[in-house]
A and B are shown apart, each in its own frame.
Chain A
């Protein structure tokens, strides 16, 4: 089983994600530079957080035109589990793999804190071990994390069960407190909070078990027994 963690210039959660996948959940994972080809035997892809291209122009917009994104799109069409975290989520919306956009937080400030998100879709490859409405203590850290979509898109999101997590509080002005969405098929998930920062008990001031289940869901999806 192999998970590719894509590294863009300016990615800075790539090594954290790699550590959690490899050392904590014993998945084979590999850092892949954005101009390299996706390895052939990949089973899942993660776009990690950070500041690809220094957030120039707009967060995620330049990385969305990286050579590797064309390959990621192909894999998305084939139904491969793909997770974008924070800047990875921004890259997914900028590349059109997910609808909507991520705008500046209403406070206009970067926000780094612990909060709770609520499971709204437990059918995705990253949430299939959760109960609906289960709460997850999790870290957020972003300046442009306010999810926005127009009415029509929101309607579609709801109709297709594409809202994956919502915040337990109004943290940044996100539409419907959306923290995470997926594509219509459910295999591509983008989320602003950082599961890789929240899945080890020593780092999580509350409880790391719920956030761990994001990775355990992936293990289940890939057929690894825990």
Chain B
């Protein structure tokens, strides 16, 4: 792959001559969709990026948030979709490695990993199962070895991911504000490449990721080595402590081409680089191969002549390989040499800033087709509820997260499997994090779908007692050259912007991944939202429900089954009305729940989302090992059919467990705040029973529900 005719012409005009073949490859790597965001950049500008906690600086690869007392939290999200679709183990593992280095490059220690995984129909498709198992193993082997806990995430299965995989990894970092890398460089500073040796793996990876997945180009997949990454982390943090790092950048997509051009451009300096000096693991690598190889576990560090010796000593103590590959110069030229020969000489601002595109967008035709559907006849709802609980999209993911070390670092206060995970910070505060996506909702309504994902992630962290302070997004779509796909992308960005502005949650980072397609077509629009929240005092650690405790529901249930698990998994219906967020009531609901948590009025809070009320209440009963009697007529809602009440996925709803002694105060608070609520059930017995006046709508035994929910996914994957 190379440049388009327009891009070639633009390049020639900018540099005033024809580029040589090495230069062309350098530019092609950096101007790939993956590195340049050329289709998306114009639209991403609408996202609000300012906030009182946001610290921005030149060239940061991650978002930085001030959490007080001189400490910062950093966050970044990336995907490794194409590589994981052909080589799930290595693809997923290197996906973890890459995002970790983005956190490291700010000068913070990575303290947590979250991952969002998507595969085809894991029940019927053994290839999807193979991809799933190996991606999980890749993440586990890499993250566990690094000693960075994988504390949460989410998993979705959908036929649109057949023969494909979405592997998203988010990472969180923590450190002292005063130790953040300042990212500046002066003439005469040294450019040092630290970490893994450079080989021929991952050649052209960024271009591979910027095209439809047609061939299984395994050589474009990078090879993971977590042990080297661990040593690199410790070496870099020690170098940071000894103030040996003036600027730093991770080597990811586009390899050295990208790292050199972006660093040179961001710091407004020139760089002279001799690629012959790069430490390699293969012989006779050409300058082009050295410039575009995406070999892993490499960091580019700029250090002053005074600190070079100390930096070398740190690397030698930890036995981390390094090579001093260049010097900082005045101006803005990146000059690449191979020994004495200059093989490329380009202005870095040209290389680092691809000409942006104005892609046409048009409303997809499919939307009209699926907007109205014939409502299905409700089946036996007790049996349906059990089927829903064993649905791989809903069933417990403990088979996955027990393979991840989620305790190392001794910060994990609320563990995976809950609404959001919570980490303790060194300043006595707590950080709550969650990522959420929902391709089914986003397909039915791209704008409302993504707003819903955002709302869900916020609700999840609210359940732990946290207030949102920042968000990251990861926008994953098919080929942007298709105007209908591009429209869904634009809708997503606008939806995120709308929610972020309303709730004043700054976007502190993100990533765009396009061309997520196979021969069978594009994936459904799959934006992913990660939200971080802060808890000043103490998190809500769930207390067990006792017999007689009450189930309180906050929020309105509406006829919104479009894109729901009930429609798609039970009835195979795609379409209808997707849940839409009412911003005003969402805000009041979140605030009311936070006040209830603050006033110690509730034992546990659970978000109500995938699978609706039926699933959320069952999950509570399973976790708290108790039955519950739920009265339909108490559920705040319009006139809805029984299956709609049970399975509608309306947003902004919470379930709270309240002790009888606290119910009066809780009710008064909810009434005062004028939020829709109801005392909808009472915990007792061994059955989960839903009653409409005197009629039993659905009833399942807690034991039976637990067995389905807990074991379905594990037994599915361990038997093939």
Q: Which residues of A contact B (CB under 8 A)?
A: 9-10, 12-13, 16, 19-20, 33, 49-51, 53-56, 109-113, 139, 141, 143, 194, 196-197, 200, 202-203, 205
What are the interface flags for B117-151 relative to A under an 8 Å C-beta threshold, 1 for contact and 0 otherwise?
Answer: 00000000000000000000000110011110000
- Are A110 and B319 in contact (CB-based, < 8 A)? no
Least Cβ–Cβ distance between B318 and chain A, in angstroms: 7
Does any Cβ of A come within 8 Å of B219's Cβ?
A: no
Query: Which of B193-201, B277-285, B404-412, B608-616 contacts the other chain?
Result: B404-412
Q: Which of B315-359 contact A (CB under 8 A)?
A: 317-319
Does any Cβ of A come within 8 Å of B226's Cβ?
A: yes
Least Cβ–Cβ distance between B544 and chain A, in angstroms: 11
- Are B231 and A51 in contact (CB-based, < 8 A)? no
Contact with B410, one of A16, A109, A112, A205 (Cβ below 8 angstroms):
A16
Least Cβ–Cβ distance between A198 and chain B, in angstroms: 9
- Are A141 and B407 in contact (CB-based, < 8 A)? yes
- Are B140 and A110 in contact (CB-based, < 8 A)? yes
State the CA gap A139–B415 with chains docked (Å): 12
26 example contacts (A-B, Cβ-Cβ < 8 A) are as follows A9-B319, A10-B145, A12-B147, A51-B144, A51-B227, A53-B227, A54-B225, A109-B140, A109-B402, A109-B403, A110-B144, A110-B403, A110-B404, A111-B402, A112-B402, A112-B403, A112-B405, A112-B406, A113-B402, A139-B407, A141-B144, A141-B405, A197-B407, A203-B410, A203-B412, A205-B415
Least Cβ–Cβ distance between A53 and chain B, in angstroms: 7
Interface size class of B (residues with CB under 8 A): 20 to 34
State the CA gap A55–B230 with chains docked (Å): 12
Given A54-B230, A197-B410, A9-B404 contact (CB < 8 Å): no
Least Cβ–Cβ distance between A205 and chain B, in angstroms: 7
Q: Which of B397-437 contact A (CB under 8 A)?
A: 401-410, 412-413, 415, 424
Which residues from A are CB-within-8-Å of B412? 203
Contact with A51, one of B230, B317, B402 (Cβ below 8 angstroms):
B230
State the CA gap A200–B410 with chains docked (Å): 9
- Are B409 and A16 in contact (CB-based, < 8 A)? yes
- Are A12 and B230 in contact (CB-based, < 8 A)? yes
Q: Which residues of B contact A (CB under 8 A)?
A: 140-141, 144-147, 225-228, 230-231, 317-319, 401-410, 412-413, 415, 424
State the CA gap A12–B408 with chains docked (Å): 8
Which residues from B are CB-within-8-Å of A111? 402-403
Q: Which of A12, A19, A50 has the most CB of B within 10 A?
A: A12
- Are A10 and B407 in contact (CB-based, < 8 A)? no
Which residues from A are CB-within-8-Å of B318? 9
Q: Which of A49, A111, A196, A202 has the most CB of B within 10 A?
A: A202
- Are A13 and B147 in contact (CB-based, < 8 A)? yes
Which residues from A are CB-within-8-Å of B409? 16
- Closest A residue by C-beta to B144: A110
- Are B227 and A10 in contact (CB-based, < 8 A)? yes
State the CA gap A19–B227 with chains docked (Å): 23
Which residues from A are CB-within-8-Å of B146? 12
Least Cβ–Cβ distance between B148 and chain A, in angstroms: 8
Which residues from A are CB-within-8-Å of B317? 33
Q: 4 closest A-B pairs (Cβ-Cβ)?
A: A12-B147, A54-B227, A51-B145, A16-B410
Least Cβ–Cβ distance between A180 and chain B, in angstroms: 18
Which residues from A are CB-within-8-Å of B231? 9-10
Given A9-B319, A12-B146, A112-B404, A56-B227 contact (CB < 8 Å): yes
- Are A110 and B227 in contact (CB-based, < 8 A)? no
Least Cβ–Cβ distance between B151 and chain A, in angstroms: 11
State the CA gap A202–B402 with chains docked (Å): 20
Which residues from A are CB-within-8-Å of B402? 109, 111-113
- Closest B residue by C-beta to A194: B407
Least Cβ–Cβ distance between A41 and chain B, in angstroms: 24
Contact with B413, one of A112, A139, A202 (Cβ below 8 angstroms):
A202
- Are A141 and B408 in contact (CB-based, < 8 A)? yes
Given A53-B227, A110-B144, A202-B413, A13-B408 contact (CB < 8 Å): yes
